[in-house]
């Protein structure tokens, strides 16, 4: 599952330089979520090469004819579009959601791929983790409710991963 829990027991989580420990003695936690990448960079290179080779196979029949020059620009444009949209997919994969659980607040920051930063925070005593198994925008829709707002978390995860995230969030906010 594309998530990572970190305990903030040492170092300076805030400007104070003090370690982050909650009132009950548990360390502060940070959860980072990101979209699953099904095609690694090496796979991307192999896919482009295989696509290029598959485009060349039909062109072999047209070698030495004027039809080759009519078809070649369209095949190259198709390959360029595949390249462009796969690169765009990688850029969109830079999305991150960071949830920080401290004694005095719960903070969720969504870092969009194009630099936009969205934030939400609430008192951890009033935060409720909810899951909507059906009828939401996605199956097993997980939300955090607090500070008179409801925010989604992990909408880009698979339904099974969102169900597991819900259980982990319930345990962490316990």
- The pLDDT tens digits of the residues spanning 57-99 come to 988 888 889 998 999 999 999 999 999 999 988 888 889 999 9
Strand order in the sheet with 128-132: 128-132, 141-146, 149-152
CA distance 57 to 29: 54
As a whole-number percent, the residues of the chain with pLDDT over 90 amount to: 48
Topology given in CATH for the domain delimited by 3-37+93-173: PH-domain like (2.30.29)
What's the confidence (pLDDT) of residue 143?
A: 94
Q: What are the tokens at 107?
A: 């903070």
- HSE-up (13 A, CA, CB side) for residue 100: 16
What digits encode the pLDDT tens for the residues 39-67? 888 899 899 999 999 988 988 888 889 99
Residue 109 near residue 122, CB atoms below 8 Å: no
What's the rounded mean pLDDT across residues 139-143?
A: 93
Domain definitions of the chain by residue range: 3-37+93-173, 41-92
Residue 48 near residue 79, CB atoms below 8 Å: yes
Q: What are the tokens at 58?
A: 């039909």
Q: What is the pTM of this model?
A: 0.73
- HSE-up (13 A, CA, CB side) for residue 40: 1
């Amino acid at each position: 599952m594309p998530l990572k829990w970190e305990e903030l027991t040492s170092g300076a989580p805030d400007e104070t330089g003090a370690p982050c420990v909650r009132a009950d003695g548990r360390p502060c936690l940070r959860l980072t979520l990101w979209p699953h990448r099904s095609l690694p960079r090496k796979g991307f290179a192999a896919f482009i090469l295989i696509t290029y080779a598959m485009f060349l196979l039909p062109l072999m029949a047209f070698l030495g004819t004027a039809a080759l020059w009519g078809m070649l620009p369209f095949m190259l444009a198709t390959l360029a579009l595949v390249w462009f949209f796969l690169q765009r997919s990688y850029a969109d994969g830079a999305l991150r959601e960071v949830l920080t659980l401290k004694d005095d607040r719960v903070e969720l920051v969504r870092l969009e791929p194009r630099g936009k930063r969205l934030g939400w925070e609430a008192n951890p005593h009033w935060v409720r983790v909810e899951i909507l198994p059906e009828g939401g925008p996605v199956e097993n829709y997980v939300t955090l409710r607090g500070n008179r707002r409801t925010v989604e978390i992990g909408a880009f995860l698979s339904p099974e991963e969102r169900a597991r995230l819900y259980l982990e969030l319930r345990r962490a906010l316990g």
